[in-house]
Amino acid sequence: MTDLSGRFQAKGAEIRLVGLSRAFGEIHAVRNISLVAERGEFLTLLGASGSGKSTTLMMIAGFVTPSEGDILVDGVSILGKPPDKRNLGVVFQSYALFPHMSVAQNIAFPLRMRRRGSTEIKQRTEEALAMVHLSDHADRRIDQLSGGQQQRVALARSLVFRPPVLLMDEPLGALDRKLREQMQLEIKRIQRSLGITVIYVTHDQEEALILSDRIAIMHDGELHQIGTPDAVYERPHTPYVASFLGESNFLEGIHEERHDTLSWLRLSSGERIATTPADLPIGARVQAMIRPESISLSPPHSDETANALAGEVEICEYLGQSIRYFVRNPASTLIVREPRREPGRRATIGENVTLYWSPKSTLVFPA
Amino acid sequence: MRLSLADAILAGFAGLVCVFLVLPSLIVVPMSFNGDNLLRFPPHSLSVTWYADYFALPEWRSATWNSFTIAIAVTVLATTLGTLAALGLVRGRIPLRNLYIFLMFAPMIVPPIVSAVSMYGVFAKLKLVGTFPGMVLAHTVLALPFVVINVAAVLQRMDWSIERAARSLGASALSAFLHVTLPMIRPGLVVAAIFAFITSFDEVVVALYISGSQSVTLPVQMWSGLRFEINPIVASASTLLLGLSVLSLIAISLLMRLGTGSRRPAP
């Protein structure tokens, strides 16, 4: 692995979005987004298609004009600048390589546009090729490359002019799983060694969790939550975030009692469960969220209070590292994910089981 | 079995099309090598005397020269304007887009004689009849739709993020067009240019009205060659035109194959 820190001294810049909105006619593609990507941070915009994440990225790149709001790079607005004057690297989903140019010509393009000398262009193109391990492919035509190699060319081309920020729009969407995992490592390695700020757009939650320093979850043009991967997974602010990131169970009920350390809900089935303390009025309709891996088929070892619900196993899926059960209870069908343990107890279809989980892993949202 | 029957029927129809559509045009080739003073098939004696006359007589030479210069000017003008129009129609969000499309394509739908008469009316007032600019303008109007169709087809296939990529890499709008878009649509442009050239070079109806006596083109000269006398030079001129058309067709089909070959491969 080449150490790039010496030669590629691109220092990351801070990107600040202030109340950024974009309306297409009546449709609000992006609504009042404010966030900051710190210098050298890997920030992912995560959301389903139509969430406004790509529109946000294209506004930063300069291809979509915001209806409202501002975009600041290191405190300076770039709204008045055309895309070619923003000096941001952009990697497109389709790679957008120039089919009439060789690999080396593609990578040299941004340097040619900046009217650099031929010796500098040659040297920096070679460095960029080495960075993505494509030195042997400099003279190939683009259509002679595999998808993964094309992706590397696109990456090298967007970094060769040492931009302080790299914008990536679903760059790995077209690759198969194995190649995708390999490229994830590669992107992370390059980002770390260059110290560059990355704003990465994806709909793949697993990819977002692996790559990001922080994740911004978008839905219907709005920013739902921004935080570290563990924060957004473990402490989702909205039911949407909870259901979009990983699997989750939702139980509907009424907020009955509120104590310092916990709240009590009455479920539609009449049973009561304890949850984390809810900042919601007594009597309000609420929904409780529990992650499948927080539920166990065995009672807890400590004498800490645990919720217990009875149910019948409907489906049982063997996933290798874990076993996933769908358990039907009068209130709902719950997903349970138990780690596979050697002497562990396994339930079978039709068996009546009791589900145990801690009030601490039960989050409450307004219904 | 079914397949070969279908193939046989297809081959049969293709053969009939050739016999009825192409063969009658080819008859001018042997006729042009006829030795006597008449247009005659089959030829009685072989000679190249009508080719010699074609290249020697000033009216034929100037008609050929006019046709080439007019067609080249039309090619440049129509390709440039048509490309810009196609860019605007495919990419721009322009008001009254459909009206522009309709107006631009009108010369393809309006009968040539109607175009000819109406252009004559306007051009006569502007004193453009019988002039080189007049002929170039008239033929550019006729060639424009062919250019727009061809260029728009290529533009519609193009992945726009490629031009965006060029912009993000530091190319101004003009540089991105010159360095990226233009090379990518070049095969379509060349096809469009050939169409524009042929449209002008072969055109006779509008030319009959607009060319006057000063800028007689080859098709007009051939027309008068048949109209007032049965001049066998017409056959040799036809043969040369036929050769030019065949070469253009071959060029177009080669370029179209090239164009599809250089498209972006699936990742």
Transcribe B34-56 into DSSP letters: B-SSS--SS-SSB--HHHHHHHH
- Which of A217, A242, A267 terminates a domain? The answer is A242
CA distance B70 to B67: 5
Tell whether B50 is covered by a domain.
no
**Residues within 8 A of B (CB atoms), A 328-347 only:** none
CA distance A132 to A149: 9
Tell whether B26 is covered by a domain.
no
DSSP for B105-134, written as a single string: HHHHHS-HHHHHHHHHHHHHHTT-TTSHHH
Which pairs count as long-range contacts for A3-9, CB under 8 Å and 24+ apart, including other chains? A3/A193, A4/A131, A4/A190, A4/A193, A4/A194, A5/A193, A5/A194, A5/A195, A7/A127, A8/A127, A8/A131, A8/A159, A8/A162, A8/A193, A8/A194, A9/A162
Are B165 and A92 an interchain contact pair (Cβ–Cβ within 8 Å)?
Answer: yes
What confidence score (pLDDT) does residue B265 get?
A: 40
Range in A38-52, A70-84, B14-28, B56-70 the model is least confident about: B14-28
Tell whether B10 is covered by a domain.
no
Q: Is A161 helix (H, G, I), strand (E, B) or coil?
A: coil
Tell whether A203 is covered by a domain.
yes
Q: Exposed, middle or buried: residue B204 (CB in 10 Å: 0-12, 13-18, 19+)?
A: middle
Tell whether A343 is covered by a domain.
yes
Domain interval for residue B232: 57-261
What confidence score (pLDDT) does residue B251 get?
A: 85
**For residue B203, how many other CB atoms are within 10 A of its CB?**
26
Q: What is the ipTM of this complex?
A: 0.82
Range in A30-34, A52-56, A167-171, B213-217 the model is least confident about: B213-217
The partner residue sitting opposite A90, judged by closest CB among B165, B179, B267, is B165
Best CA proximity match to B49, nearest among B24, B31, B67: B31
**A224 and A296 co-located in one domain:** no
**A260 and A194 co-located in one domain:** no
Strands A42-46 and A214-219: parallel
Range in A185-189, B9-13, B92-96, B199-203 the model is least confident about: B92-96
Question: Which of B168, B177, B182, B258 should one mutate to test binding to chain A, selecting the residue with the greatest count of A CBs within 10 A?
Answer: B168
Task: Please count the CA atoms within 13 angstroms of the CA of A317 that sit on its side-chain side.
Answer: 8
More confident residue, A126 or B249: A126
Mean pLDDT of A156-161: 95
What confidence score (pLDDT) does residue B100 get?
A: 86
pLDDT confidence bin for B260, thresholds 50/70/90: low
**A206 and A270 co-located in one domain:** no
Res. B42: pLDDT tops 80? no
CA distance A131 to A187: 11
Q: Are B107 and B145 in contact (CB under 8 A)?
A: yes
DSSP state of A280: S
Secondary element (H or E) of residue A251: strand A249-258
Tell whether B14 is covered by a domain.
no
What confidence score (pLDDT) does residue A344 get?
A: 65
Res. B261: pLDDT tops 50? no
Mean pLDDT of B49-60: 86
DSSP state of A359: G
pLDDT confidence bin for B259, thresholds 50/70/90: low
What confidence score (pLDDT) does residue B234 get?
A: 86
Are A87 and B170 an interchain contact pair (Cβ–Cβ within 8 Å)?
Answer: yes
pLDDT confidence bin for A5, thresholds 50/70/90: very low
**A313 and A224 co-located in one domain:** no
Tell whether A57 is covered by a domain.
yes
Chain A residues with beta carbon closer than 8 angstroms to that of B165: 90, 92, 96-98, 154, 157
Res. A26: pLDDT tops 90? no
Domain interval for residue A302: 247-366
Q: What is the CATH number of the domain that holds A351?
A: 2.40.50.140
Mean pLDDT of B224-236: 83
Q: How many domains does chain A have?
A: 2
State pLDDT tens for residues B174-203.
Answer: 999 999 999 999 888 998 999 999 999 989
Tell whether A253 is covered by a domain.
yes
**A222 and A136 co-located in one domain:** yes
**A111 and A132 co-located in one domain:** yes
What confidence score (pLDDT) does residue A6 get?
A: 44
**A137 and A267 co-located in one domain:** no
- Which of A242, A267, A288 terminates a domain? The answer is A242
Tell whether A7 is covered by a domain.
no
Question: Between the CA of residue A44 and those of A50, A139, B12, B183, what are the distances in Å?
Answer: 16, 34, 63, 35
- Collect all residues with Cβ–Cβ distance below 8 Å to B187 and sequence separation of at least 6: B154, B255, B256, B258, B259, B262
Both structure tokens of A84: 């070619």
**A299 and A358 co-located in one domain:** yes
Tell whether A19 is covered by a domain.
yes
- Closest Cα of chain A to B163: distance in Å? 8
**Residues within 8 A of A (CB atoms), B 227-266 only:** 262-265
Are B169 and A143 an interchain contact pair (Cβ–Cβ within 8 Å)?
Answer: no
Q: How many domains does chain B have?
A: 1
The partner residue sitting opposite B170, judged by closest CB among A114, A174, A175, is A114
**A253 and A236 co-located in one domain:** no
What confidence score (pLDDT) does residue B78 get?
A: 96
Res. A7: pLDDT tops 60? no
Tell whether B19 is covered by a domain.
no
**A210 and A340 co-located in one domain:** no
Mean pLDDT of B139-146: 94
Q: What is the CATH number of the domain that holds B144?
A: 1.10.3720.10
Mean pLDDT of B123-150: 93
Chain B residues with beta carbon closer than 8 angstroms to that of A113: 169-171, 175, 179
Q: What is the CATH number of the domain that holds A167?
A: 3.40.50.300
Q: Are A107 and A129 in contact (CB under 8 A)?
A: yes
Q: Is B172 helix (H, G, I), strand (E, B) or coil?
A: coil
**A207 and A275 co-located in one domain:** no
**For residue B143, how many other CB atoms are within 10 A of its CB?**
28
**A159 and A252 co-located in one domain:** no
- Closest Cα of chain B to A112: distance in Å? 9
The partner residue sitting opposite B175, judged by closest CB among A89, A113, A175, is A113
Q: Report the share of chain B in percent with pLDDT over 70.
A: 95
The partner residue sitting opposite B170, judged by closest CB among A96, A151, A161, is A161
Mean pLDDT of A15-21: 95
CA distance B225 to A138: 61
Tell whether A8 is covered by a domain.
no
Q: B164 and chain A: CB distance < 8 Å anywhere?
A: yes
Both structure tokens of A241: 């975030």
DSSP for A46-78, written as a single string: E--TTSSHHHHHHHHHTSS--SEEEEEETTEE-
- Which of A187, A214, A242 terminates a domain? The answer is A242
Q: With helix as H, strand as E and coil as C, how does B181-236 read?
A: HHHHHHHHHHHHHHHHHHHHHHCCHHHHHHCCCCCCCHHHHHHHHHHCCCCCHHHH
Name the residue in chain B with its Cα closest to that of A162.
Answer: B169
Q: Report the share of chain A in percent with pLDDT over 70.
A: 96
Tell whether A3 is covered by a domain.
no
- Closest Cα of chain A to B162: distance in Å? 4
